[in-house]
């Protein structure tokens, strides 16, 4: 394998890719801020136990899909495969279980040893939000609404639909699970090979199996609805009332499940049909059991994570680039003046660049290539006359103005453009 080849499933973010990526994160950050969420940055690796414990030691995921390694001190470390467990660990180690609620936003790289596909990479990026402390269904509704607002801010709200389900509380869920195992066991022989395995490890997943032979059986499986206790039913009703109040549209999809036991009540996914089989763009749920499972006090929590790569692909238009102003001096005396002008333009908050070499033609070409909106030309002639040439590259109009007016004129132009 060549040394200049990137590692399988990793990719460089350059140019438009990087701009799309940054745009997604910045939009999410702004929305999170409006909701009163604070950004946390946790390490990209943790003691393996942080993730192993949150996932259950027997899980396939732990052994097959985590980037785990032993460091020089002999400790087992793991590149984080998701954000929630790390945030919960940070909550506990910083003693913040004493000051709830915590409203946390995060963004950063995650790592999973998976077979790459479009929208599925070994190093990928997520934005996420965790609302830790409140156990009320309105908290779920608000968290979901915040996710919707992120999608709306990105202009992709019309591309996705919100699919919603409840898993019931821990007791309801356990009863339902037992009933499913019982039901599916009767049809064991007729289930797909994969689902026969799922029956042992993760029976809920049979419900969203894609195998045709499973579909008929799964569609007639006992519904959770039959097992919801009063408490769970009340929660589910209030969640939907809350979403209605927040003005969030959704469809109920009983096939949305979560494998792990600490999940309860709310499960949701914003999905699109535009990304093939990696159509889930932002998803989450309630995990009232996780903080306790990690050694903290019993703490209710709801959260979600969104895939930055998938969202970036969904953006129709790449984020616009701010057109710079090109300053073109001719001659060393003019260069001094140009540098002064550059400082002024940048101090005024404008994007300004200067080319170091080439004749006027070359520098004009370069100005055009970097997408400059205007060019300021100052050479010997201009110096002696005490003016500069200001050329609008969009229409070729060129005017002579005094150097001291350049910043003001260009600021006015920018203000005018922002209003359009």
Partner RNA sequence: GCGGACGUAGCUCAGCUGGUUAGAGCGCCGGUUUGUGGUACCGGAGGUCGCGGGUUCGAGCCCCGUCUUCCGCCCCA
Cβ proximity to RNA: between 211 and 409 the closer is 211
Cβ neighbours of 394 (radius 10 Å)? 10
Give the number of residues written for the chain: 420
Cβ proximity to RNA: between 20 and 391 the closer is 391
Residue 80, judged by CB atoms within 10 A of its CB (0-12, 13-18, 19+), counts as: buried
Peptide bond into 101 cis (omega under 30): yes
For residue 86, the minimal CB distance to RNA (Å) is 10
Structure tokens at 341: 């002008």
Cβ–Cβ under 8 Å, residues 255 and 166: no
**Scanning the structure block, which residue is given the tokens 């003016």?**
387
Cβ proximity to RNA: between 72 and 115 the closer is 115
Cβ proximity to RNA: between 123 and 233 the closer is 123
For residue 289, the minimal CB distance to RNA (Å) is 12
Q: Quote the strand ranges of 2-139, DSSP E.
A: 38-39, 45-47, 68-70, 76-79, 102-111, 123-132
For residue 72, the minimal CB distance to RNA (Å) is 24
For residue 268, the minimal CB distance to RNA (Å) is 11
Cβ–Cβ under 8 Å, residues 358 and 407: no
For residue 244, the minimal CB distance to RNA (Å) is 25
Cβ proximity to RNA: between 27 and 86 the closer is 86
Cβ proximity to RNA: between 10 and 249 the closer is 10
Cβ–Cβ under 8 Å, residues 338 and 327: yes
Cβ proximity to RNA: between 48 and 344 the closer is 48
Cβ–Cβ under 8 Å, residues 28 and 281: no
For residue 45, the minimal CB distance to RNA (Å) is 13
Cβ proximity to RNA: between 249 and 394 the closer is 394
Name, in order, each residue with C-beta under 8 angstroms of 45's C-beta and a sequence gap of 6 or more.
77, 78, 79, 80
For residue 331, the minimal CB distance to RNA (Å) is 8
Q: Site residues (CB under 7 A) for RNA?
A: 1-2, 5, 8-10, 51, 54-55, 59-62, 65-66, 81-82, 84-85, 112, 114-119, 194, 197-198, 202, 205, 208-211, 258-260, 276-277, 280, 283, 330, 359-362, 364-365, 367-369, 375, 377, 379-382, 389, 391, 393-396, 398
Cβ–Cβ under 8 Å, residues 131 and 103: yes
For residue 30, the minimal CB distance to RNA (Å) is 25
Helices and strands (DSSP H and E) totals, the chain: 15, 16
Which among 29, 107, 88, 41 has a CA at the least distance from the CA of 291?
88
For residue 372, the minimal CB distance to RNA (Å) is 8
C-alpha span between 16 and 3 (Å, rounded): 25
Determine how β-strand 352-354 pairs with β-strand 68-70. unpaired
Cβ proximity to RNA: between 103 and 198 the closer is 198
């Amino acid at each position: 394998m060549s040394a200049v080849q990137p590692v399988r499933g990793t990719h460089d973010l350059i140019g438009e890719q990087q701009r799309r990526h940054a745009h997604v994160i910045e939009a999410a950050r702004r929305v999170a801020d409006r909701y009163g969420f604070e950004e946390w940055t946790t390490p990209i690796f943790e003691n393996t136990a942080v993730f192993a414990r949150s996932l259950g030691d027997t899980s396939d995921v732990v052994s097959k899909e985590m980037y785990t390694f032993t460091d020089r001190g002999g400790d087992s470390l793991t590149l984080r495969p998701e954000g929630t467990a790390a945030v919960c660990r940070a909550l506990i180690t910083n003693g913040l279980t004493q000051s709830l609620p915590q409203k946390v936003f995060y963004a950063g790289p995650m790592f999973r040893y998976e077979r790459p596909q479009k929208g599925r990479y070994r190093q990928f990026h997520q934005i996420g939000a965790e609302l830790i402390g409140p156990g009320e269904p309105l908290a779920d509704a608000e968290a979901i609404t915040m996710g919707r607002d992120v999608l709306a801010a990105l202009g992709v709200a019309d591309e996705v639909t919100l699919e919603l389900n409840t898993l019931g509380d821990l007791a309801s869920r356990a009863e339902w699970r037992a009933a499913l195992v019982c039901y599916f066991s009767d049809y064991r022989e007729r289930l797909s090979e994969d689902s026969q395995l799922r029956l042992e490890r993760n029976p809920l997943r049979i419900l969203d199996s894609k195998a045709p032979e499973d579909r008929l059986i799964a569609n007639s499986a006992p519904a959770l609805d039959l097992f919801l206790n009063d408490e769970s039913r009340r929660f589910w009703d209030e969640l939907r009332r809350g979403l209605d109040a927040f003005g969030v549209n959704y469809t109920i999809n009983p096939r949305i499940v979560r494998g792990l036991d600490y999940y309860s009540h709310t499960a949701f996914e914003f999905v699109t049909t535009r990304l093939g089989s990696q159509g889930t763009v932002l998803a989450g749920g309630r995990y009232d059991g996780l903080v306790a499972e990690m050694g903290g006090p019993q703490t209710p929590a709801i959260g979600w994570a969104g895939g930055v790569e998938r969202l970036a692909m969904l953006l129709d238009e790449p984020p616009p680039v701010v057109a710079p102003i090109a300053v073109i001096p001719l001659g060393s005396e003019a260069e001094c003046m140009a540098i002064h002008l550059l400082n002024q333009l940048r101090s005024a908050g404008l994007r300004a660049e200067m080319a170091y070499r080439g004749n006027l033609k070359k520098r004009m070409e370069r100005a055009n290539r970097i997408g400059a909106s205007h060019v300021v030309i100052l050479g010997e002639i201009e110096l002696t006359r005490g003016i500069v040439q200001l050329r609008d590259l969009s229409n070729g109009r060129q005017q002579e103005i005094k150097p001291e007016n350049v910043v003001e004129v260009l600021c006015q132009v920018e203000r005018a453009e922002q209003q359009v």
